[in-house]
Structure 1
Amino acid sequence: MLTAIGLFVLGLVLLALGGDSIVKGALGLAQRLGLTPFNAGLVLVAFATSLPELAVNLVAIVHGQGELALGNAVGSNVANVGLTLGAAALAAPIAVRWRALSPLLLVLVFGTIAVLALGADGTLSRIEGMVLLLAYVACFAFALSRSRHESAEVHEALAASARTSTMLGQNLIRFAIGAVLLWIGSKLVVGGAGVSLFGLDLSHSGAAVMGKGMGLSPVLTGLLPVAIGTALPEAAAAIAAARRGQGDMVMGHVIGASVFNVFVIIGGMAAYGALALPMTVMAPGNFVLPLGYELLAALAFALMLYPVLRGDMRVGRGEGAMLLVAFGAWVVFELFLAGK
């Protein structure tokens, strides 16, 4: 068990390092090919912070651990709002000037509702997965068109976030190192039957074994230790950004990563092969929901942001503390349901 935990933590560290390296390399290469820093910043917000989750989910799916990947995708959305944004706002109040984030939050809400509705029969079909992927393309195009009309301050913040060296050799090395670290890190995090790395058998390591040892189901393993573990580096980066007054980037990453998780990760998993969703019968009325309380929690945390983006566009320390408390209560509630 200690070995499994140690390799899991090492995997998380490598995921964080690999994600940072591959993002810098990709941004440098994109700008060398003519992409403006502003557009590169939009790409960064859209999905860069989801790369660790994407790498973990790809490895999990390849090795037949789809429920772990599904739990990670949903749990990451709860962690994005409750842990990452909550911790950042507690460190320093977050002012948001990026107006396009408000409609994108509605996209996140309706996307989560769509997964609940489409999965009501217990499965997301390949066609439904492709619809979610196409919807993400439309959302990204919408964000790109809307953001061109944002204030000069927002434009500068996005451009500044993406500025990096454009040296070809340096960025090719960054990208290659990042890809390798993501691959190794995701293998160490997932572990379980059939997973190996450089000939080393990882069947008794990683989240799969750790979750089993803790008495957690595969979905709950992805929902809690994996999702929270991959969110910790993002939370640290968000805290640093909040202290630098980069509230737009913090909120942009939170909403952008969450939209990516719903439409691309969950949609992509379904498009790869029809995705079976664990079903929960909820009383009263015996309502049947895909992923039950988990998807409802992700929806609830997204809705908690709506008054902020429709009101004073500011997340204060008190609101950050409230988000953290809500996140802690959700973790306790999930463990209680699991009998822990």
Structure 2
Amino acid sequence: MLWAWLAMAAGLGLLYVGAEGLVRGSASLAGRLGLTPLVIGLTVVAFGTSMPELAVSVEAALNDRSAIALGNVVGSNIGNIGLILALAAMVTPLAVQAKVLRVDTPLVIAVSVLLLILVSDGHLGRIEGTALVVGVLAYVAFSLWSARRESAVVHAEFAEGVPAPSGSVGRDILFVVVGLAVLVVGARMLVQGAITVAEAAGLSDAVIGLTIVAIGTSLPELAASVVAAAKGEGDIAVGNVLGSNLFNILGILGITSLIQPLESGGVGPTDLWVMVGFAVLLAPLMRTGWRIGRWEGVMLLLLYVSYLALVISGKG
């Protein structure tokens, strides 16, 4: 049992390191290709910080642990708002100026509802996966178009928060390749450890996926958003969360279900409705002067802790 916990801890560490390397290398390469920091932040960085979720979900699906794969995404999306955005807002109130993020909020609600509908039959197949992947491609295209209409202030903010090209192209490629390799190894260790812990402790795959695995794979988003908040870069902190939630559903579940169709297992309607609820809750919070204050962060965190308690007490 101890080795399983150690494997999970090591896996989480490798996922964080791998995601950091991947984001740094890919962001630098994107900058060399002429993409603006705003576009890089909304797409490359957001997708890069979601790579742990992709690696873990694919690994779990290939091991016939669909509940871990789906629970990882659903739990991460809930945690991104209830934990990460909450902590970031508690560090400093988050002011949102980017117009594209005001559009991303209803998009997150829409894709959350879409996932609820798609999984209502307990299955997420390749047809649904194809539709989700098409959706993420459309979102990237929309982000590229929207970025051209943003103010100079927003562009300057992302320029400060997004890694600039450094070193050589070969170094960037090395970061990407090594980052991907480390992600694969970390995902394998985390999933195998989680399976062992779940079986030994009598917990379901869904509980492990919705809690420990989901929180662990969200570490890159946590680090990026809290650091951005501390620097007063509210758009980056919120953009990381919204972009990650969109990529998690459209990209991560889309790609995973294309590789291996998923069964919902113990991830039930309650979990999906909570995910939708947190997304819906963002709308009025963002509308209060397009600012998320400390007390709102505290409220989100309390709701998230209550959800975790409900999951652990009701699904063991």
1:166: how far off?
4.8
The CA deviation string for residues 126-147 of structure 1, in whole angstroms up to 9 with x for no partner, is 2222112112211222222122
The CA distance in 1 between the partners of 2:154 and 2:64, in whole Å, is 42
Aligned to 2:216: 229
Aligned to 1:287: none
Contact 1:50 1:261 in 2 (8 A): yes
Contact 1:28 1:167 in 2 (8 A): no
Paired AA for residue 18 in structure 1:
G
- For the pair 1:182 / 2:183, whether they are aligned, the reply is yes
4+ long deviations beyond 4 Å:
none
Aligned to 2:164: 163
The CA distance in 1 between the partners of 2:312 and 2:63, in whole Å, is 26
The CA distance in 2 between the partners of 1:135 and 1:237, in whole Å, is 25
Of 298, 304, 314 in structure 1, the residue corresponding to residue 291 of structure 2 is 314
The CA distance in 1 between the partners of 2:142 and 2:36, in whole Å, is 18
The within-5 A match list for 1:203-214 is: 206-214=193-201
Aligned to 2:88: 88
Paired AA for residue 209 in structure 2:
G
- For the pair 1:62 / 2:49, whether they are aligned, the reply is no
The CA distance in 1 between the partners of 2:158 and 2:228, in whole Å, is 13
In structure 2, relative to structure 1, the CA distance for the partners of 1:15 and 1:274 (3 Å cut) is closer
1:35: how far off?
3.3
In structure 2, relative to structure 1, the CA distance for the partners of 1:269 and 1:174 (3 Å cut) is closer
Contact 1:45 1:249 in 2 (8 A): no
The CA deviation string for residues 296-327 of structure 1, in whole angstroms up to 9 with x for no partner, is 11111111110122331111111111111111
Of 281, 306, 310 in structure 2, the residue corresponding to residue 329 of structure 1 is 306
Paired AA for residue 51 in structure 2:
L
The CA distance in 2 between the partners of 1:172 and 1:178, in whole Å, is 10
SS class of match (1:121): coil
Aligned to 1:284: none
- For the pair 1:23 / 2:10, whether they are aligned, the reply is no
Contact 2:29 2:165 in 1 (8 A): no
The CA distance in 2 between the partners of 1:300 and 1:169, in whole Å, is 44
Aligned to 1:97: 97
The CA distance in 1 between the partners of 2:299 and 2:80, in whole Å, is 14
Of 247, 250, 260 in structure 1, the residue corresponding to residue 247 of structure 2 is 260
1:222: how far off?
0.8
Query: How big is the alpha-carbon RMSD for the aligned residues of Structure 1 and Structure 2?
Result: 1.8
In structure 2, relative to structure 1, the CA distance for the partners of 1:329 and 1:226 (3 Å cut) is same
The CA deviation string for residues 38-86 of structure 1, in whole angstroms up to 9 with x for no partner, is 4323323441210111111122222222221111011000110011001
Contact 1:104 1:143 in 2 (8 A): no
Of 273, 280, 299 in structure 2, the residue corresponding to residue 296 of structure 1 is 273
Aligned to 1:172: 173
The CA distance in 1 between the partners of 2:249 and 2:284, in whole Å, is 21
The within-5 A match list for 1:26-65 is: 26-65=26-65
Paired AA for residue 237 in structure 2:
V
Moved more, 237-246 or 248-257: 237-246
Gaps of 5+ in 1: 192-205, 280-289
Moved more, 295-304 or 175-184: 175-184
SS class of match (2:64): coil
TM-score (norm 1): 0.87
The CA distance in 2 between the partners of 1:307 and 1:147, in whole Å, is 24
Larger radius of gyration: 1
The CA distance in 1 between the partners of 2:38 and 2:308, in whole Å, is 37
Paired AA for residue 242 in structure 1:
A
The CA distance in 1 between the partners of 2:287 and 2:215, in whole Å, is 28
1:107: how far off?
1.5
Contact 2:32 2:165 in 1 (8 A): no
Q: Which has the higher contact order (CA 8 A, sep 6+)?
A: 2
The CA distance in 1 between the partners of 2:184 and 2:200, in whole Å, is 24
Contact 2:39 2:143 in 1 (8 A): no
How many residue pairs match? The answer is: 315
Contact 1:22 1:174 in 2 (8 A): yes
1:208: how far off?
0.8
The CA deviation string for residues 74-127 of structure 1, in whole angstroms up to 9 with x for no partner, is 100011001100111111111111121122121111112112222222222322
- For the pair 1:240 / 2:227, whether they are aligned, the reply is yes
